Structure 1
Amino acid sequence: MVKPNDLRGLIDLTKTTQTLLTHFQSSLASSSGAPNASDPQVSSADIPNSLEVVKTCTTLLRSHTTTLSLLLLTPPLTPSALITKIGDVSSGALSGLVAAAISTPQAGQKDELGVLMRGEVKAQVRRLIGTWDDVLAIVQRLSEKRQTAQGKGKTKDEGPTESERQDVLAATGVVWEACDALLKLCTDGVVGLVIKKAQELRSVLLDAIEELKEWGEDVDNEDDDKAECSAGEFDNEDEIFGAANKLGKGDKELKALLDTSVKKLKMVGLLYQALIKRRLKTFSAQAQAQAAASASGPATNGDAKHASINPVVKLDELMVLLKAIPETADDLASAFYDLDEDEAKRTLDKCSGEAKSAVALVKKSWTGADDEFTVWSGKWVDAFDAA
């Protein structure tokens, strides 16, 4: 026999736990990443490998959620078991997960993850917490329904309706999906994440190139169509509203700049491929060697300022540049659509500078040595400047 006080305690626990989850979300959203007094106690000494902690806590949370789901689906509702399970999740799996996600290396400690990876971990943990908040809402709803039934004298618990069962299963499935995504992130590690991001950014860049190329190729077709019309007439609405930003045959200088821009951007797309293969995929294997090499003494060649950078910091800087290039390419396309030649030149110079900065940053391997990419990158810069 379920006691009314048990149900009341379960309902109260769901509400206080939801408040706790809101606080966790706020901590994870903090730009500084610094915990405050009410956050889970975070010590880098206690969390030497935050990804392993995230992985362990996520696996535990997935298991707890499965058990909680079964408790909700199997009548009668057992508040004491649910209270214990929710308490285990909030004080164990979730607290550990948040503590690992917001932990940062202390002064003098080596950063194993970097800004990009830490940001991705935080984002995925926030998503996972949001999915578990939905599970708590279902627990509260079923508990309040049972409390109301008891108030009407109904002693037998008939269990959840089919609709409620589907809600429980759906919410559980969403939690599982978020857990699996976070576990994959931990398994793939920093290298897996940066490769995925770089491939996505390259795709965005290639889309921008294709759109710009198609816009330029429309020139001859548009002019031929207009020649068949009398002055001031248009074939359709597209010509009426698109005429203002069409490149005419008389815009030879702008057309030449467009051709140069498309050629250079294609070369940047090729650069992404080379960086993914020769630098991002080799990061894990060479980063430790680079750290040891940098500790042995300062570099003495012309690339000293890049060779001495911590590998994880250098990787973050590279990803910032790789993210900026497609954004600048979009700005370049906008300048062409506005038929603004001066702005197009400035934006192309900016995009070119970003690409060459990326090359210079990782011209040498992670160990600071010349390799195949070093030679290739020199040839690429020469060809890029000549394009």
Structure 2
Amino acid sequence: MTDNGIDDEIVESLNKVLGIVVNARKAVSTIDKLNLPVELDNSPLSMLDSIGEMIHQYTTKLSIAARPPITKDALEKYSNDMSNMVSPLIATLQIYTVDKYGKIIYDRLKMHVERILLGIECLLRSVSPKPLAHVTEAWKTRGRLVTTGMLWESCEKLQKLGREGALGYVLEEWENFVSMLEDAVSDMEDWKAGESSNWDNFDSEDEDEEEEKENTTSEVRTQEQAESAKQLLRQLNACKILFLSIKKHRLPKTASFHYLDDLYEKMKRTSEAIDEVVGQFQEDFDNTKDELDLFAFCGKELAQTCITEFESDSFTAWYTKWLENWDQSWK
């Protein structure tokens, strides 16, 4: 058989696998919950770790098999092995539903599944000796930006979700929230001291330190501005104390999925409110009321979650006192 004939056979085989992958990707957004027997209803998240590991292994083997000299049998074997993992991957969206495992798990899972399927499609097209079929609009708009590296990264994130669950994700995001809060404190201290940046001059992401200094001007703050900044700094630092306490006392390993969903959303809203209020101080100090009100509300809402979810906890009194001080700071 000629090389061209072998290529045609490879393309035919890869197209069959690609059809499975593309149809699975189309089904992601419309997939229905799977009603499992009671004894199977509590599937361990560790299954995600196993699925992610196997897909990583098969896609790696397929990538290696596609290197010269290309062996038709090897390409077909590993592409078929990989296609056998598509059904278990899709089934995870039917098993780990929002009502049972929470929004954090489901949203992260759905994102990883979509990216893995798009990554597999990218890999199949890259190893084929000729262009493959099943070119969808999603491939035209997103697929060309995907790399096999992103595929393996998504597999690793799926594995991490299986090992660490929602708590692992919340802890990771907590680090980001605290880092952002510390940046907000630093920005407010600079603003209070009279520093402001001339953003019109920032036309490049590669500004060096000297250029950054040139684009920073100094202003004399009014007494009202200085007092308001001082007050906001106290509230930002109080919020940081709350965040630090949450990690220590309100993120137990036994936390339910739905509690973590709620706590994460409250932390996220508070973080966003902080970003908005500091930004508004810097841009338009005379019109900060809405941002301050939102920050006050979000901080209170977050503290209340720490109280209501742990009514008999020994630290409830601490959060109650924090909330009293928080309310008082806005009067």
TM-score, normalising length: structure 1: 0.66
Residue 23 of structure 1 and its aligned partner are, at CA, apart by 4.1
Q: Hey, what's the Cα distance between the residues in 2 that align with 1:24 and 1:203?
A: 38
Between the aligned partners of 2:319 and 2:285, the Cα distance in structure 1 is 32
Looking at structure 2, the residues matched to 8 and 364 of structure 1 have their Cα atoms a distance apart, in angstroms, of 64
Counterpart AA for 2:82: V
When the two structures are aligned, how many residues end up with a matched partner? 296
For 1:35, give the aligned amino acid: I
Aligned partner letter, 1:97: L
Q: 1:42 to 1:81 in 2, by over 3 A?
A: farther
Aligned to 2:289: 345
Q: Is structure 2 residue 264 aligned with structure 1 residue 264?
A: no
Deviation at 1:181, TM superposition (A): 2.8
Inter-partner Cα distance in structure 2 for 1:365 and 1:237: 50
Alpha-carbon contact 1:102-1:122 (below 8 Å) kept: no
Deviation at 1:43, TM superposition (A): 4.6
CA RMSD of aligned residues (A): 3.2
Name structure 2 gaps, 5 residues minimum.
132-146, 197-212
TM-superposed CA distance for 1:263, in Å, is 0.9
Please state if 1:382 is matched with 2:319: no
Runs of 5+ unmatched residues, structure 1: 146-170, 221-235, 288-310
User: What is the 5 A alignment of 1:203-242?
Assistant: 203-218=179-194, 238=215
Q: Provide closer, same or farther for how the CA distance between residues 320 and 172 of structure 1 changes in structure 2, counting only shifts above 3 A.
A: closer
- In structure 2, the residue matched to 1:326 is 271
> Using the alignment, how far apart are the partners of 2:18 and 2:57 within structure 1?
20
The farther-off stretch of 314-323 and 12-21 is 12-21
Q: Residue 43 of structure 2 contacts residue 95 of structure 2 at CA under 8 Å; is this kept in 1?
A: no
Q: Distance in 1 between matches of 2:195 and 2:118?
A: 50
Match of 1:63 in 2: 57
Percent pairwise identity: 21
Alignment map for 1:173-322 (pairs within 5 Å)? 175-218=151-194, 238=215, 246=219, 248-249=220-221, 251-280=222-251, 282=252, 284-285=253-254, 287=255, 311-322=256-267
- Say whether the 8 Å CA contact 1:195–1:276 is kept in structure 2: yes
Q: Shift of the alpha carbon at 1:359?
A: 1.3
- 1:335 aligned residue: 280
> Kindly tell me: are residues 83 and 137 of structure 1, through their superposed partners in 2, closer, same or farther at Cα, counting changes over 3 Å?
same
Normalised TM-score (structure 2): 0.76
Give the Cα separation in 1 of the matches to 2:233 and 2:269: 17
User: For residue 226 of structure 1, what is the aligned residue in structure 2?
Assistant: none
1:209·1:266 contact (CA, 8 Å) conserved in 2? yes
Structure number with bigger Rg: 1
Shift of 1:129: 2.6
Whether the 8 Å CA contact 2:93–2:109 is kept in 1: the answer is yes
CA separation of 1:43 and 1:318: change in aligned 2, threshold 3 A = same
